[in-house]
Chain A
Amino acid sequence: MPDVQPLVSEFVLKLKRRKVEGSHAVARQTAELLRSVVSQHRMGSTNQAAALADAIRGVGEQLIAANPIELAVGNIVRRVLHIIKEEDISSTAVGIEGLSVTADSDDEYDSGNDDHPTLSAAVLAAHARNALRAPSLQTLLEDIPVNTGLSRSASSTGDSDGKSGDKSSKSRKLKHDVIAAIGDLIDEIDTCYDQISEQAVEHIHQNEVILTLGRSRTVKEFLYAAKEKKRSFRVFVAEGAPRYQGHVLAKELVEKGVQTTVITDSAVFAMISRVNMVIVGAHAIMANGGVIAPVGMNMVALAAQRHAVPFVVVAGSHKLCPLYPHNPEVLLNELKSPSDLLDFGEFSNCMNCSTQDGTLLNVVNPTFDYVPPKLVSLFITDTGGHSPSYMYRLIAEYYSADDLVVRRKSTSS
């Protein structure tokens, strides 16, 4: 697919140069890029799903390497891989119907399943989709009338993508479905703010005091939504040094008529006893329920825990990362230029290495903090509120387990 390579390299370059930052923008652009990769992909005659997944993996690998800190890139790549798998299974299921399942599908069905010849393709597809997911609370409720034998049979269809049949129409259908599903994904990313803020009134009550740190668009929309529903509440905004995005948020909140107080980050402990709830945004939510968030967040979480104030994280589902954090303070962090903290000119004589050996002055400017799961009370995503211990389950719904490491396989299997 040489035609998409320029697009890919352009985006890789943007990521590398840190021209695109912020989970939302990154997630959206990644999804759009992958959609065009899929639409440009030339479908072969066999193994289309695997080949397509491989192409996505190849692109995904480059994108992830370009900025490993932006976890949203990897999330979207994995979501797309998952979509391909799902669509492949459902299209295979449709194919089965076309070929009239009863006649020559011995390889598909165990002898024990022969008593279900009138299986409708739609049901089969639905079960195939479910088969990819481990059983969960929601699917359990949906799937009451399904017997175990059927789901077992459906799961076996997932492996049979080498079927002969009218491939061209099927492949076109697969591609079309995948593109449509990625379109849905983009819609989901776009509408996550609305989905989350719909839940605002359930959480923010009359005359409450909310504390937040820095500026998160999700938090802003969340508070806006509560305000629109005629809730009256007050907001403390910690300014979020050294980037001071809190100032921007305060301005935006005041424009909407929210009673706002700006405090320094270091005043959080002093104010927390007056606060009813802490609502913050996140950069990423890890599989263990830990949160990667703007620097200073860990301190806020600790303060909240100390005073038993609920610590609520609002984040779209594209921020859900299926990886477990290892040494996140260092490896999932990014140190920015010290010029945010202090003026180079004023301190240039402290860093003069001609008069002293090595520089005595070091300035560290990390972007992110890691908040361990035990400090988080609740996650609010576009699918509702969840506790940190439930995160792994949510992740299992969005991602397939074998995609956790995005690496192009040497031979398409």
Chain B
Amino acid sequence: MSQKKSRGGGGGAAAGEDPEDLSRSPLQAVLLADSFTLKFRPITLERPKVLLPLVNVPMIEYTLSWLESAGVEEVFVFCCAHAQQVKEHLAKAGWTGKAAAREMTVTAVESHDAISAGDALRVMYGRGVIHGDFVLISGDTISNMNLQDALQEHKDRRKKDPLAVMTMIIKHSKPSILTHQTRLGNDEIVMAIDPETKELLYYEDRADGSSLYVTIDKHILASNPTLQLCNNMEDCYIDICSPEVLSLFTDNFDYQHLRRHFVKGLLVDDIMGYKIYTHEIRSSYAARIDNFRSYDTVSKDIIQRWTYPMVPDVLSFGDRQEIKLHRQGIYKASDVTLSHSAQIGANSVIGNATSIGENCKVSNSVIGEGCNIGKNVLIHGSYIWDNVIIEDGCKVSNSLICDGVHLRAGATVEPGCILSFKVEVGKNVVVPAYSKVSLLPQPSNEDSDEELEYADTNSGVTDSPPFSSMRSADHPTVSDDDDLEASETGTCGVAGYIWANVDTGVQEEWRQSIGPIPKDKLKELQHAASFDDDDDGSEDDLNNRPTVLDQDDDSDVSVAEDDDYSKFEKEVEETFQRALDGIHQDNLILEINALRLSYSLQHADCAGALFHSVMRSALVAAQSTNGSLLKTTAEALGKWKDLLRNYTKSVDEEMEILLKFEEMCQENAKEFSPLFSKILPYLYDKEVVSEDAILRWAEEKENADESDKVFVKQSEAFIQWLKEAEEEDEEEE
């Protein structure tokens, strides 16, 4: 606040250049004007998501107004898809350009090759414009919270602990018991928070709601005496970040998604020890529009004035006519033409220059500017944008109708439909529920340079681990694309293409649509829930359910870890295979590091797995070329020694390699067992393992079973030689 006061006298534009201002580092914000998802397709093919009207005002206006009133002084708007449109809008709305009266400077940053939030932040880092703590927000976030408290908390924490790099804003909101999704249509989020420090310990945004359990790493439980697990929190996607966040994104170039990769990445990474904290807001509002369901919900919240002062009659944009609020939450612009017999129900908004004919019924809907609505039209729970023509006798319920759509007489739009720009619907045509209609055909391959979606965004629970981005990028992003072809619908009375549902993936379409959940679905869920409840009573089910708290005995956990490890090993081997095909070694190291983070394993495990891969490759080479195994092994070790050395920084890791080698010889690659004693000196020669490691290995094995000592005995001569050499060394000294 004091910052604002000092500038309050006016001349706000000049203050930016003040040299002493630099030391104070103005509050900055990075606004991502691209959601990097496809959830608003097909509309986002023609207009960026942040410019879509929300209660007749483009979404980005809400975000920018909030940032301005929250005291942010400098905003970088990161434009990617439809960058030109975003920039034009910013200029038109007076955010950029010569608007000297603004206390906030807005700069557009354009980049066309960013395909994820991670890329965007890397570009921001490259620009080097962020100097201090900044607010990270996407252009589709609506809020009226007071930033000062959260900011102060963040700064105080930073003073005590420079590793607290991020403060996440969360909000209490009860998820639906039946559908396990929040009001905003997102899956419920499970978070573990330290109730004292508010540190975030665990974050899972795609918890499997049906199975009713979460898996939490036991060291989280071990290291935190108290822990608050909540599933009734909503992530507002407003983050207060320190500049380190940008460099973290740059260091880990495979971080794409802010939550799935960055937050989870930081939480599992205990080497750097970066910490994320949460700040819960109580009375103020914050929500992000992520899908059509949240579009509907947030619109209703705005109409209900939870977002005050970001409400239609206060927030004005451009030279719009003022909107007046009447009783029962009806907002009307000043020159609306309403027939006397038209009934406007509660919680509706009617934009400027719109005319509504006789006997129309409008309820719970938002109607934009310049619309022409005929007689006997029923509009319920719908969002109708600007310049839409609806002829007599149409019925529209719980749908979204974009600019310039023309519904001819008697057309019916069933719940959950999306009619994109300028679609025409013929006479008496029924648009079936949940259809998405656009004038543009559905791209068969999602490689357009528009809003690129990160590959596994919608794949739900898949076998592929979340960090394998490099690999899956080679494949088409949405695989089941080809068999669902867009059907041209001109023949059946709709000018446009009906889009097949692809991006919902395993999710059913009713979950994130504008329409309410159908009654029969609710009943179904109710039934399922009550069935579940019955199950809860029966004992065998309880025993079957692997809850975290049940896993007291270590064996259970280690089994799980082994399972993880074998998966990891497989991953590493696959990665290594591609390295054989010619990927650069540096990239290989980075990839393996990423894999290690995603499985939260140690460096030693990497060394073991990598060694395993190298040896396998040698084995394969020997078999294919019929050469001697010893020779190919020597070659492979020679070639990859640098890579291995990268992981064998300490004796422990070298030990791990030896143990791994031993294990291989005993189990899956018995071909090596006669050669053990011959390969060991090779490893020593190439400095993959040091003599310390070998000696320690031998020492440890002395007390082991006879069967375990096979290889120690086999290489006894070499060990002996090593020991002597060591003694000689000592003598020399």
Chain A residue numbers with a CB within 8 Å of B516 are 353-357
- In the bound complex, residues from chain A placing their C-beta under 8 Å from that of B102 are 13
- Residues from chain A with a CB closer than 8 A to the CB of B522 are 355
Residue in B closest to A363 when the chains form the complex, CB atoms: B304
Contact of B285 among A6, A9, A339 (CB under 8 A): A339
Cα of A182 to Cα of B287 in the assembled complex, Å = 45
Q: Which of A84-92, A298-306, A329-337, A388-396 contacts B (4 or more CB under 8 A)?
A: A329-337
B300 at the interface (CB under 8 A from A): yes
Q: Say whether A344 faces chain B, with CB atoms less than 8 Å apart.
A: yes
**Measured between alpha carbons, how far is A9 from B102 in the docked complex, in Å?**
8
In the bound complex, residues from chain B placing their C-beta under 8 Å from that of A18 are: 309, 314
B10 contacts A10, C-beta separation under 8 Å = yes
CB distance from A64 to the nearest CB of B (A): 11
A134 on the B face (CB < 8 A): no
Q: Among B301, B305, B347, point to the contact of A335 (Cβ < 8 A).
A: B305
Let me know if A17 and B309 touch, CB within 8 A: yes
A338 within 8 A of B: yes
Let me know if A191 is at the binding interface, CB within 8 A: no
Known A-B contacts A344-B171, A355-B517; the reply to A6 vs B307 at CB < 8 A is no
The interface bits of chain A over 221-258 (1 if a CB of B lies within 8 angstroms of the residue's CB, else 0) are 00000000000000000000000000000000000000
Q: How far, in whole Å, are A338 and B363 apart by their CA atoms in the complex? A: 21
The answer to whether A362 and B346 touch across the interface, beta carbons within 8 angstroms, is yes
Does A338 lie within 8 Å of B306, measured CB to CB?
yes
A-chain residues with CB within 8 Å of residue B326 when the two chains form the complex: 330
CA distance A90 to B285 in the complex (A): 55
**A348 and B309 contacting across the interface, CB-CB below 8 Å:** no
For residue B296, CB closer than 8 A to chain A, the reply is yes
User: Which residues of B (58-95) have their CB < 8 Å from a CB of A?
Assistant: 65, 68-69
B284 on interface, CB distance cutoff 8 Å? yes
Q: Which of A9, A330, A353 has the most CB of B within 10 A?
A: A353
Within 8 A of A (CB), among B258-316: 282-285, 293, 296-297, 300-301, 304-309, 311, 314-316
- For residue A10, which residues in chain B have a CB less than 8 angstroms away from its CB? 10, 12, 101, 103
For A339, give its contact among B283, B293, B309, B398 (CB under 8 Å): B283
Across the interface, A345 reaches (CB within 8 A) one of B282, B300, B309, B517, namely B282
Whether A343 pairs with B283 at a CB distance below 8 angstroms is: yes
Asked if A365 is at the interface of the complex by the 8 Å CB criterion, the answer is: yes
CB of B101 within 8 A of CB of A5, answer: yes
Selected from A330, A348, A354, the residue in CB contact (under 8 A) with B293 is A354
Bound complex: CA of A364 vs CA of B88, how far in Å? Answer: 38
Contact bitstring A7-50, B, C-beta under 8 A = 1, else 0: 11110010011110000000000000000000000000000000
Q: Give min CB distance, A23 to chain B, whole Å.
A: 18
User: Does A264 belong to the interface (CB within 8 Å)?
Assistant: no
Query: Does A351 belong to the interface (CB within 8 Å)?
Result: yes
Within 8 Å by CB of A359, from B68, B171, B300, B307, lies B300
User: From residue 307 to 365 of chain B, which have CB atoms closer than 8 A to chain A?
Assistant: 307-309, 311, 314-316, 322, 324-327, 329, 346-347, 363-364
B172 x A336 contact (CB < 8 A)? no
B185 CB within 8 Å of chain A: yes
Q: Does B190 contact A (CB under 8 A)?
A: no
**In angstroms, how far is the closest chain A Cβ from the Cβ of B191?**
14
A335–B302 alpha-carbon span in the complex (Å): 12
Q: Which of A64-110 contact B (CB under 8 A)?
A: 65, 68
A353 to B292, CA, bound (A): 12
With known contacts A354-B293, A365-B305, A17–B10 Cβ distance under 8 A: no
B183 in contact with A337 (CB, 8 Å): no
B100 CB-CB contact with A under 8 Å: yes
Q: Which residues of B contact A339 (CB under 8 A)?
A: 283-285, 306
Residues A337 and B285 in contact, CB atoms below 8 Å apart: yes
Query: Which residue on chain B has the smallest CB distance to residue A19?
Result: B69
Contacts of A410 in B (CB 8 A): none
User: What chain B residues lie within 8 Å of A362 (beta carbons)?
Assistant: 304, 329, 346-347
| Interface flag for A349 (CB, 8 Å) | yes
Q: Among residues 175 to 226 in chain B, which have CB atoms less than 8 Å away from a CB atom of chain A? A: 176, 178-179, 181, 183, 185
B325 partner residues in chain A, CB cutoff 8 A: 330, 335
Question: What residues of chain A lie closer than 8 Å to B322, measured between beta carbons?
Answer: 65, 68
User: In the bound complex, do residue A352 and residue B314 qualify as a contact, i.e. CB atoms below 8 Å apart?
Assistant: no
Contact in complex: A337, B307 (CB < 8 Å): yes
Do residues B10 and A354 form an inter-chain contact, with CB atoms below 8 A?
Answer: no
Contact residue among B68, B101, B171 (Cβ-Cβ distance under 8 Å from A6): B101
Cβ–Cβ contact A348 & B183, under 8 A = yes
Bound Cα distance from A363 to B305, whole angstroms? 9
- What is the CA–CA distance of A346 and B173 in the complex, to the nearest angstrom? 7
Tell me which of B183, B293, B311, B381 has the highest count of chain A C-beta atoms within 10 A of its own C-beta: B183
Q: How far is the CB of B318 from chain A (nearest CB, A)?
A: 13
Q: How far is the CA of A340 from the CA of B306 in the complex (A)?
A: 10
B232 contacts chain A at the CB level, 8 A cutoff: yes
Q: Name B177's closest neighbour in chain A (CB-CB).
A: A349
B183 touches A352 (CB 8 A): yes
* A343 and B282 within 8 A (CB): yes
- Chain B residues near A359 (CB, 8 Å)? 300, 304, 347
Residues of chain A within 8 A (CB-CB) of B178 are 355
Bound complex: CA of A35 vs CA of B300, how far in Å? 43
- A354–B179 contact, CB under 8 A? yes
A340 to B144, CA, bound (A): 13
**Nearest CB of B to A56, in Å:** 19
Q: Cβ of A358 < 8 Å from any Cβ of B?
A: yes
Question: Contact mask A354-385 → B, CB, 8 Å, 1/0?
Answer: 11111100110100000000000000000000
Known A335-B305, A337-B307: A348·B174 in contact at CB below 8 Å? yes
A328 to B284, CA, bound (A): 28
Give A residues with C-beta under 8 Å from B.
5-10, 13, 16-19, 65, 68, 330-331, 335-340, 343-346, 348-349, 351-359, 362-363, 365
Closest 5 CB pairs of A and B: A345-B172, A9-B101, A337-B308, A349-B174, A348-B173
> B residues near A, CB below 8 A?
10-13, 65, 68-69, 99-103, 144, 171-174, 176, 178-179, 181, 183, 185, 232, 282-285, 293, 296-297, 300-301, 304-309, 311, 314-316, 322, 324-327, 329, 346-347, 363-364, 380-381, 398, 516-517, 522
Known: A335-B325, A344-B285, A354-B183. 17 other contacts (CB 8 A): A6-B11, A6-B12, A6-B13, A10-B12, A13-B101, A16-B309, A65-B322, A331-B324, A336-B305, A337-B285, A338-B306, A339-B283, A346-B172, A355-B517, A356-B516, A357-B398, A359-B300
- A-B CB contact pairs (8 Å), 18 listed: A6-B10, A6-B12, A6-B13, A9-B99, A10-B10, A13-B102, A16-B309, A330-B325, A330-B326, A336-B308, A337-B306, A339-B283, A345-B174, A348-B172, A355-B516, A355-B522, A358-B300, A362-B304
